[in-house]
Chain A
Amino acid sequence: MADDASLRLYRALVRQDPAAAISVIERVRAGGTAQAALFDTLFAPAMAILGGSWADGSINEYTFTQAAVVADQIMSFVTPPAAARDTGVAVLVGSVHGDSHDIGKNIIAAALRDAGHRVLDLGVDVLPARFLERVEETGARIVIVCAEMLSTAHAVQRVHEMFLSAERADVVLLVSGAPFAADTRLVRAVGATDVVHGAESALRLVGRAALGHLEEGEG
């Protein structure tokens, strides 16, 4: 079945008929083949046939190139989407008041965005009240506050106090930066739930926080 479909897909490519190619793909998908399997079971064998036909001279260079163009056009039908799906999880990210370091914050924000989270980057030198305002506006429940200096790391406590005074203890406060990595006691001292050690750690902690599984000190 798959071999037959691959042959039909190959023929559609050689005829430079993207509509027919998509029709083959849709029929295979309707037959129960998962999207994740379409590339391996349908597209790759069709491309192997295409390569063989070019090699043995059944099709000429021009036809080969045109078939490759059609293959490009239909690629998105057989591959998983390149961008991650929207998780619906909103995350606020910002460097605390008095701190202008942004590299770590930028990388964390980009990684979360690439993973499909809704990231609101507040920038650097963000006042504690601003974090609270944006939490109220966006409904975000996860906030990552970055601080790269010991003096500014202590200032994160004011963000925590701001959330408590507004009765927003439900907000998961994560911290990031060298002072917290060097002394994890500081994480508790400022009232944060956990410390983010870079992009991968951010993805893991936000994933767990989104599921409501994050307990203090897991990072």
Chain B
Amino acid sequence: MAKIKSYVRPMQGWWRRNPYFVRYMIRESSSVFLAIYAVILLVGLLRLTQGAAAWDGWLAALASPGSIVFHWLALLAVGYHAYTWWKVAPKTAPDIHIGGQPLPELVITGGGWLATLGASILVYVIVRWM
């Protein structure tokens, strides 16, 4: 039997061929930062149950240069996730119609960005002053 269709297109580095795919991979990689951050919070919760000295040790670890660098990178990646999450929301959210008209994409995306801004201010105010 003749060997046919034996060529398999190499996929190595596929996402570097197109800026759209590069942005896709940056967005997906934000989940690695988010997972690590969730584990950092979980460790903080564990230290909190172990008393004041353990908690202060966790705070001291967060102040180390490596931790600060990690959190800056995590902020950039997860911030990009937040930007893109609302950007695609018109395609992923349930259809909302007002007066027979679909809600404009700008309203959904802009509303999401405003919600993130509002939630951020709220969290800051609560942590700082309440």
The reply to whether chain A is a binding partner of chain B is no
Interface set of B (CB-CB < 8 Å, partner A): none
Interface set of A (CB-CB < 8 Å, partner B): none
